[in-house]
Amino acid sequence: MSPATQVLNFIIHMRLHYQVLILSGGYLLATLFVDFIDWGQYIRQFVNVHIFLFGGATVFNSFWDKDEGPIGGLKHPPKMKPWMRPVSMVMQFFALAWCLTISVEFTVIYGISLLLFWLYSSPKARWKGHPLLSLIAIGISTGTNSFLLGILATGQPELRLEHIIASIGVACIILSLYPISQIYQMEEDSRRGDVTFTMKYGLGNAKRFFLVLFPAGVLIISTMMYPISHEVAMPFFLCGIFAFVLISMLMTRLIGSTSEYNLVMRMKFLASFSFVMFILSSLLIKSII
């Protein structure tokens, strides 16, 4: 394998389309909770969070998983090389140092996400192989923390109680589809000795998990948003319920087969991209008004 091909494979394993289109919702949502945005800083830290942290952590996870079948955002993962793991770690620690240009609070939250990604993937801890610890790692690292990092990146001097509560709503939405995404990986997870939520509790409970957490997350976020921007909170709630109904309809078709990768990815894309488009549309309208 040529060096150029190896570099390309590294970039493929970063799954940048997945980071930007699916995992960016929490970070972008922060813009609807503040009155002022330092756009230069906000965009730079978007790159820091979604490319260096999330992208680096994704490569780190892929290195230890050594998946041969489909994974989130990547149907045919290419082979990993030994150099990819240390490079992914350098990316994340470079990003951590970059955080110091924002604040200590921002750096601490970022560092917690970095630590949780390590606990999630590394064979020395392997929280990914535990049905509940994996929920904690994902819920905090890509849920609550992505929103809180977005708040601080806007130039907001400190986090307030409504930000903390809203971040829990973000975690609920992120986590609601997480067990469903384990359907097409159960065979490989079992081969590695991982016991995921769906493996332990079954597809039925994974569906019920979504039916509870997704609307709860929408309600929490809308409630916290209402005093800040009531003209946005109600449309956000309606958008969330509409997405919930559509995803629920798609979910009835799931039977727990490894061949359901495309259907699961459509559900995740619909859930995340609908919120991303709503947020971007709201920002555009606010800028015009």
Alpha-carbon distances of 86 from 11, 20, 59, 60, rounded to whole Å: 14, 23, 10, 8
Alpha-carbon distances of 236 from 56, 142, 149, 208, rounded to whole Å: 31, 20, 21, 23
CATH of the domain at 136: 1.10.600
pLDDT of the residue at 72: 63
Condensed to tens digits (0 to 9), the pLDDT of residues 135-163 reads 999 999 999 999 999 999 999 888 999 99
Helical spans, DSSP H, in the chain: 3-14, 16-21, 25-29, 39-47, 54-65, 84-99, 104-121, 133-138, 145-153, 161-176, 186-192, 197-225, 230-251, 261-288
Condensed to tens digits (0 to 9), the pLDDT of residues 205-230 reads 999 999 999 999 999 999 999 998 88
pLDDT of the residue at 232: 87
pLDDT of the residue at 171: 96
pLDDT of the residue at 251: 85
Q: What is the mean pLDDT of residues 6-35?
A: 90
Rg value, the chain, Cα: 18
Q: Please, what is the average pLDDT of the chain?
A: 88
Number of domains in the chain: 1
Which residues span the domain enclosing 71? 3-288
pLDDT of the residue at 278: 83
User: Residue 172, CB half-sphere, CA atoms under 13 Å: how many?
Assistant: 20
Condensed to tens digits (0 to 9), the pLDDT of residues 93-133 reads 999 999 998 999 999 999 999 999 999 999 999 999 899 99
Q: Is the pLDDT of residue 289 over 60?
A: no
Residue 200 or 119, more confident: 119
pLDDT of the residue at 287: 65
